[in-house]
Structure 1
Amino acid sequence: MSDPIAPPVALFGHRPFLFYLWSRSFSRFSSQIAAVAVGWQIYELTGSAFQLGMVGLVQFAPTAILVFAAGHAADRYDRRRVVQLCQIAQGLAAAYLAWGSYAGWITVPEIFAAVAVFGAATAFESPAAAALLPAVVPAGMLQRATAAATGVFQIATITGPALGGFASAAAPAAPYAVMAVFWIASGLFSGAIRLQSEVMVREPPSFAALFAGVSFVRRNPAILGTISLDLFAVLLGGATALLPIYARDILETGPWGLGVLRAAPAIGALAMTFVLSRFPITRRVGMRMFQAVIVFGVATMVFAVSSSIALSLVALTVMGAADTVSVVIRLSLVQLATPDAMRGRVGAVNYLFINASNQLGQFESGVTAALFGAMPAALLGGLGTVLIALLWMRLFPALRKVERLE
């Protein structure tokens, strides 16, 4: 019987992965703090819900425009340097916001300009960082490494907004100062990563090379199936966007209940990453992914009809755990099925799908809730997620038959 403890020790004792994990951790904390600090300051300055909504659009627009160029850059240039430069750029933008907020001369357009820098830098950082992961872990440990990195992201998701809120309460400049320090620290850790060998594309930039990731995904049914499954599952199963309605009108818990409900999926996800980092899925991984999506959909339906805060918390925790199983398998499968020279561009396609599903999923949930009510909207979303998983099992038999992550 294999030792479930020794592999994680070997993984976290591997210096390139350790530096990578610290780099991504500080960067993720900064982005989570920014989500609170920027929104709070914009609303304080304008009192406008429209301006608050514009924050997401300003950050997403550079991603949609630059993501394919970012994927090509991740394959053409040193990925460590791409990640490092992006993190330093974000740190400098955060320092600018801290300076302006402390001095009192910062304006809304200047905040939006910094947010656009965050979006553009993230568009380049994410594909490069995803493509870098297989190069910084020991052979045969990618699934554990993916689970560990996902767990760190969930810790940042749980604690980062709280840190941002406390810092904003202390002073308007405080959260930006913390973000600047964290992003500069991220850049230093990225620069400290040492690799034995790297594969970089030296082909000249061209339209075909720029969109080679899209062509590669279309030619590989397993990758196309896993990315599109995640897109539609998140698009339809975006019940978390309706949590304010559930907290106030259905569960009648108030603001404290909303906070607890928002934390529940991340807690479930964190618990599952702990399990997967020690006991990775070793067989029938394609079916396990479909099963996880179905469990996610069923848990969404349970949450939809629940009028008990306890049952709702259990359903949301299960949703977070099931989603993590799907995410870990998807990320590992995409990385292992993609040649190293293509990982940046394929990662860019994956990143675009994830962002589109999150943004459009919130929009879809809001529209259906406005038309039918929150409970029918969440119920339909969960049912749609289950039906999509069953349909995808027939449409993508290559994904269903994937046995191992090797």
Structure 2
Amino acid sequence: MTGEPGDVARDVAGTATEDRAAPPVPLSRNRGYRLLWGSQALSEFGFHASMIAFPLLVLALTGSGAASGLVMGTIAAAQMVAGLPAGVLVDRYDRKALMLGCEAAQAVSAISLVIAVWSDTATVPHMVAVAAVFGAAAALFEPAENAALPVLVDTVQVPAAVSMNTARASMGQLSGTATGGFLFAAGRFVPFLADAVMHTLSFIALLFLRLPKRERPAAPPGRLVHDMLTGLRWVWQERRIRVTILCAVVLNLFFSAFYLVVIVLAGTRGVPSGEVGVMAAMLGVGGVLGALAAPVLHSRLGAYRAIVAVFWALTLFTPVAAFVHSGYATGALFALMALFPPTANTAIMTDQLLRTPDELRGRLTSVLALACGAAGAAGPALGGLLAQALPGDRAILVCSAGMAAAAVLATVSPTLRGLSPNPPAGNRPAAA
């Protein structure tokens, strides 16, 4: 592509020179960003409350673990299948309308499940259909939100906005997962009723969101596959984006494998299930704190040093798990390790969003989500193989070696060294 990242943001925002001289509106007073962030805080709470209740509901109604796996697998499969087409739709059509459609579809689907459970008519095909809607909506909403972000906030605020979105996701997962089990105990339909209410409130909030108008390319029929391939080619041809996506994939792969290996090792060591739950919760707590610290770390370190520091930190902390036997101590280690990835995520997403033309941002996000999702799915499989083939401590060391190899490559990469230390200043979102 031509032009610098600042030029892209300026072209999208279409702001005047005198406006660029003024200080940006803080995120806390940015009406558009607050609406988007708050609506998704509600939505993600409801989504994760449903996710923890879904397998419990299937097991309660059918007693089949296979049926439970089918329903949960449908969510992941729908996200994977809808990923690339979702990016094309985000680049073609009105992003606010797509986000509203996602919230409405999830609210209606959840209500249909509430009615079915309440009337004792819920079936596995119905639950599979609801799961497919949830997965497809999540796959469509994420690129729409990420593509809208650079036109809602000032360029220099993109790292803070990305990290706040990461913190919101972690908080939604923690609160929703913790609450969903209690809601299910109150009534089988209650978690899904809460989900429907959250998505409805999110839909209402998004009605008041105003996005700057943008020039959208014509959408000739039958060009969906062509446009998907265009996005893939563009991502592949942009060396900096290609390398940063590779970094994210490697990090997801080995960290997911390491996480499963540690869980399996805890079971073989006789760690009580309550302590295992604390381990998982501490990972979320560390993620929230890391996301809040990410803007400061990214600002002080810059993109290249932030990415490299995260790789080396995880490489050094990973082997410690082989020598820790207490579930609580392992949870503390998880929390410490989870502090670092949000900084790398902030550095990667900021550089990619500002480097990508507005008409390709949806496809960029969908490609990144698809790649990281595939790595997140392959990681547990790799971890399972390592845990079966090797003693637990050796399996952990293999994961650490993989991270170390990736850290060395990231450190010596001339492409990563060329990343901008910080995003360019002075570009404003268009007034809505």
> What's 1:183 paired with?
199
In structure 2, distance between residues paired with 1:45 and 1:336 = 48
In structure 2, distance between residues paired with 1:165 and 1:101 = 16
- Which of 226, 237, 245 is equivalent to 1:208? 226
> What's 1:24 paired with?
40
Contact (CA 8 Å) 1:74, 1:344: kept in 2 or not? Answer: yes
In structure 2, distance between residues paired with 1:116 and 1:279 = 38
> What's 1:69 paired with?
85
Contact (CA 8 Å) 1:144, 1:280: kept in 2 or not? Answer: no
Contact (CA 8 Å) 2:39, 2:203: kept in 1 or not? Answer: yes
Contact (CA 8 Å) 1:247, 1:257: kept in 2 or not? Answer: no
Post-superposition offset of 1:54: 2.3
> What's 1:249 paired with?
268
In structure 1, distance between residues paired with 2:182 and 2:215 = 43
- Which of 320, 323, 327 is equivalent to 1:309? 327
Counting only pairs closer than 5 Å after superposition, residues 63-212 of structure 1 correspond to structure 2 as 63-204=79-220, 206=223, 207-212=225-230
Q: TM-score, normalized by length of structure 2?
A: 0.87
> What's 1:401 paired with?
418
> What's 1:286 paired with?
304
Post-superposition offset of 1:298: 2.4
Q: Which amino acid aligns with 2:288?
A: L
Q: Which amino acid aligns with 1:329?
A: A
Q: Which amino acid aligns with 1:126?
A: E
Post-superposition offset of 1:385: 1.4
In structure 1, distance between residues paired with 2:208 and 2:362 = 21
Greater RCO, CA 8 A, separation 6+: 2
Segments of 5+ residues of structure 2 without an aligned counterpart are 1-22, 425-432
Comparing 353-362 and 375-384, the one that deviates more: 375-384
Contact (CA 8 Å) 1:81, 1:191: kept in 2 or not? Answer: no
Q: Which amino acid aligns with 2:284?
A: A
- Which of 359, 364, 369 is equivalent to 1:351? 369
Identity %: 25
Contact (CA 8 Å) 2:45, 2:176: kept in 1 or not? Answer: yes
Q: Which amino acid aligns with 2:387?
A: A
Post-superposition offset of 1:44: 2.1
Contact (CA 8 Å) 2:310, 2:340: kept in 1 or not? Answer: yes
Post-superposition offset of 1:98: 0.9
> What's 1:3 paired with?
none
1:48 aligns to 2:64 (yes or no): yes
In structure 2, distance between residues paired with 1:160 and 1:8 = 33
Comparing 187-196 and 83-92, the one that deviates more: 187-196
Contact (CA 8 Å) 2:295, 2:343: kept in 1 or not? Answer: no
Contact (CA 8 Å) 2:285, 2:335: kept in 1 or not? Answer: yes
- Which of 399, 404, 413 is equivalent to 1:386? 404
Alignment coverage as a number of residue pairs: 398
1:60 aligns to 2:76 (yes or no): yes
Post-superposition offset of 1:240: 2.2
Q: TM-score, normalized by length of structure 1?
A: 0.92
Comparing 273-282 and 91-100, the one that deviates more: 273-282
**Distance change (3 Å), C-alpha of 1:376 and 1:56:** farther
In structure 2, distance between residues paired with 1:329 and 1:284 = 8
**Distance change (3 Å), C-alpha of 1:301 and 1:50:** farther
In structure 1, distance between residues paired with 2:394 and 2:384 = 12
In structure 1, distance between residues paired with 2:292 and 2:417 = 25
> What's 1:329 paired with?
347
In structure 2, distance between residues paired with 1:54 and 1:367 = 22
- Which of 52, 61, 74 is equivalent to 1:36? 52
Contact (CA 8 Å) 2:280, 2:331: kept in 1 or not? Answer: no
Comparing 38-47 and 160-169, the one that deviates more: 38-47
> What's 1:275 paired with?
293
Post-superposition offset of 1:321: 0.8
> What's 1:222 paired with?
240
Segments of 5+ residues of structure 1 without an aligned counterpart are 1-6
> What's 1:375 paired with?
393
Post-superposition offset of 1:327: 1.3
Contact (CA 8 Å) 1:27, 1:183: kept in 2 or not? Answer: yes
Q: Which amino acid aligns with 1:399?
A: L
Q: Which amino acid aligns with 1:241?
A: L
Q: Which amino acid aligns with 1:219?
A: Q
Aligned to 2:337, what secondary structure does the other structure show? helix
Higher-Rg member (1/2): 2
